[in-house]
Amino acid sequence: MEYVCAVCNKNFKRPQIKRKKQFTFVACSTLCVSKHKTKIGTFESKCKQCKKTIRKRKVEKKKNKSGNFFCSKSCAAKYNNSHKTQGIKVSKLEKWLATKLQKTYPHLEFHFNRKDAINSELDIYIPSLKLAFELNGIFHYEPIFGPEKLSQIQNNDNRKFQACLENEIELCIIDTSSMKYFKEINAGKYLQYVKNILSIKMDVAGLEPATNAV
């Protein structure tokens, strides 16, 4: 008796039969059985970044809340980096400054670690003043992870500075490389530096001065 493979449509005599509760299918080889398992357990999609056609497991579809699928980690990283509006690597100093500044200037709108102003992350940005601050630690000045990584960081810093110029944003660079570990007593000088600049810019803009002393 001859059979027709349900996967490759080849005629054969000795079947590899796969039974399920709902159905039974006949395949010519274990390879075709494996292909069939893959097909019914997966679905076809397109990489969100490069639009390449890919196949993913159905279980991944249930777990994926965004509905975005990628062909590789590289494509996932490129897409997420270009579409995120807030950074994920936030230092203790940045978090501390964010808390202090919001308490000191409750009437000012601050954007912390967001990318929407210049399509590149700014540590602190005040839209009403077109003023930004970058807190550059030791990684921006010394090759802690090698000269190649340092070059990448510094090139990114230069691109960020140029983007601010093009968008008429004044960028103030704060060198925090001397702070090896976060201590509130040592962080005060950086807060004071930001407050001094803000005081000048707000006075020029005719904005209400700080109402809370921190």
The domain ranges of the chain are: 1-40, 43-83, 92-205
pTM: 0.58
| Residue 172: strand pairing partners | 133
- Residue 44: what pLDDT? 84
Chain center to CA of 130: 24
**CATH superfamily placement of domain 92-205:** VSR Endonuclease (3.40.960.10)
CA-to-CA distance for 27 and 5, rounded, in angstroms? Answer: 4
CA-to-CA distance for 210 and 214, rounded, in angstroms? Answer: 10
Residue 42 host element (H or E):
strand 42-46
- Residue 22: what pLDDT? 47
- Residue 63: what pLDDT? 76
pLDDT along the chain (214 residues), means of 10: 78 62 66 74 84 83 80 78 53 94 94 94 96 95 90 95 97 94 93 96 84 53
Question: CB under 8 Å, gap of 24 or more: what pairs does 112-119 form?
Answer: 112/86, 113/86, 113/87, 114/85, 114/86, 114/87, 115/84, 115/85, 115/86, 115/87, 116/85, 117/167, 117/169, 118/160, 118/163, 118/164, 118/166, 118/167, 118/169, 119/82, 119/163
Residue 11 exposed, middle or buried by CB count within 10 Å (0-12, 13-18, 19+):
exposed
Residue bearing tokens 């960028």 = 171
| Inter-residue contact 134 to 154 (CB < 8 Å) | no
CA-to-CA distance for 52 and 124, rounded, in angstroms? Answer: 37
- Residue 18: what pLDDT? 52
- Residue 126: what pLDDT? 97
DSSP string, 100-123: HHHHH-TTS--EEEE-TTTTS-EE
| Residue 173: strand pairing partners | 134
> Which residues, other chains included, contact 57 with Cβ-Cβ below 8 Å and sequence gap of 6+?
41, 42
Residue 195 exposed, middle or buried by CB count within 10 Å (0-12, 13-18, 19+):
middle
Other beta carbons within 10 angstroms of residue 9's beta carbon come to 9
